[in-house]
Structure 1
């Protein structure tokens, strides 16, 4: 398993393709909500398993806090540590850039996953793209 920062347009399109499969096709998130105005301001990540793209995520810095977004893994790669690998790669990137706090908006079913990575719930439940979420934070 390898996580890398997206560097080319081809890699970016692979990340978008994974996000579309997971969020748009599986979870029925409207495409116009999934691919949004923050794409150009974000650092994108791809996860490779056996040299094949299997997961994606993106990262932005807002007011000195790292915002982790759009974490997804193809169904064929789930339950194998892929999500943790993406999160570890993003955290390493954040630490290199001297970010000391991360935040994310987790789908409520994924909260236990993020709690295992050291995130704590920091908000009540809210809806995003028709899916219940809670905000979470982690101090590095």
Structure 2
């Protein structure tokens, strides 16, 4: 089981950012200055810990127009397949509801469309490139 929490300390923020750097910068070759952007200063960040308190998942949440926008969802490679991506998304959806919003939005890498569809998201855009990776926009009513 994964314990997911909004970051509250510098250590937790560093752990979340380290996961993003491994997944996006190292694995997917996203330029560092595209991955770590100006929105990080104003977003709600989440980190997910295993029972051994090892940080293995991270994400950020922003509010744009009428949507809670799920971004930078990352799970360390060796921990994928354990349901941690689903867990962190559900925690973010709870945070969206707590802030009084009823719609979620995300830009999904195209290989992950089926994953997000299983969680109730639907594609609402044509494919587009972001950081050299094909994406689509997906939304969900919460």
Give the TM-score range, shorter chain.
over 0.9
- Give the aligned CA root-mean-square deviation in angstroms: 0.6
Partner-residue secondary structure (3-state), 2:30: coil
| Distance in 2, Cα, partners of 1:35 & 1:44 | 12
The answer to whether 1:101 aligns with 2:94 is no
Shift of residue 64 of structure 1? 2.6
SS in structure 2 at match of 1:115? helix
Shift in Å at residue 10 of structure 1? 1.2
CA distance in 1, matches of 2:66, 2:28: 31
Superposed counterparts of 1:1-140, under 5 Å: 1-50=2-51, 51-140=53-142
Structure 2 CA distance for aligned equivalents of residues 103 and 3 of structure 1: 20
Once the two structures are superposed, residues 27-77 of structure 1 have per-residue CA deviations (whole angstroms, 9 ceiling, x without a partner) of 000000000010011000001112110000000001231110000000111
Q: Where do 5+ consecutive residues of structure 2 fail to align?
A: none
Question: What SS class does the counterpart of residue 68 from structure 1 fall into?
Answer: strand
TM-score (norm 2): 0.97
1: CA distance, partners of 2:133 / 2:65: 26
If the length of structure 1 is used for normalisation, what is the TM-score?
0.98
> How many positions carry a matched residue from both structures?
140
Q: Deviations over 1:7-27 (max 9, x none)?
A: 111111111100000000000
